[in-house]
Amino acid sequence: MASEQQMVFLVRKGTGTTPSVDPTPSGEITYTVDEFAAVSYKLFDCSPDAVYAAFKQAGITEATRAVAAQVVANYLGQSY
């Protein structure tokens, strides 16, 4: 599995942008649904469409890596 640093590189490669930062005191980096969808097979072993559906069902458009993993896992568990 890719490290957090490698994931940032994979997601940001060629975009010319910096990660958005969660304004909470923990300072965890947040990513948009589009960023997670772009690496969905590598992170979650599912299609980008499943990531979009999971985020839509949860009512969010960005999340930390840990929250995104939970949202996608919950969605995939419900969709079978």
Q: How far apart are CA 71 and CA 54, in angstroms?
A: 6
Specify if 5 maps to a domain.
Answer: no
Higher pLDDT, 55 or 79: 55
Specify if 43 maps to a domain.
Answer: yes
Specify if 3 maps to a domain.
Answer: no
Q: Render pLDDT for 21-72 as a digit per residue (tens, 0 to 9).
A: 434 446 789 999 999 999 999 999 999 999 999 999 999 999 999 999 999 9
pTM of full prediction above 0.75: no
In the prediction, which pLDDT does 67 show?
93
Tokens of 9: 């590189």
Q: What is the mean pLDDT of residues 1-27?
A: 46
Strand partners, 62: 32
Closest CA relative to residue 22, chosen from 75, 72, 65:
65
Spell out the residues 6+ positions from residue 60 whose beta carbon is closer than 8 angstroms to its own.
33, 67, 71
In the prediction, which pLDDT does 78 show?
64
Domain of 56, in residue numbers: 26-79
Q: What is the mean pLDDT of residues 1-15?
A: 45
Specify if 20 maps to a domain.
Answer: no
CB atoms within 10 A of CB 71: 21
Q: How far apart are CA 50 and CA 15, in angstroms?
A: 23
pLDDT of 7 over the 50 cut: no
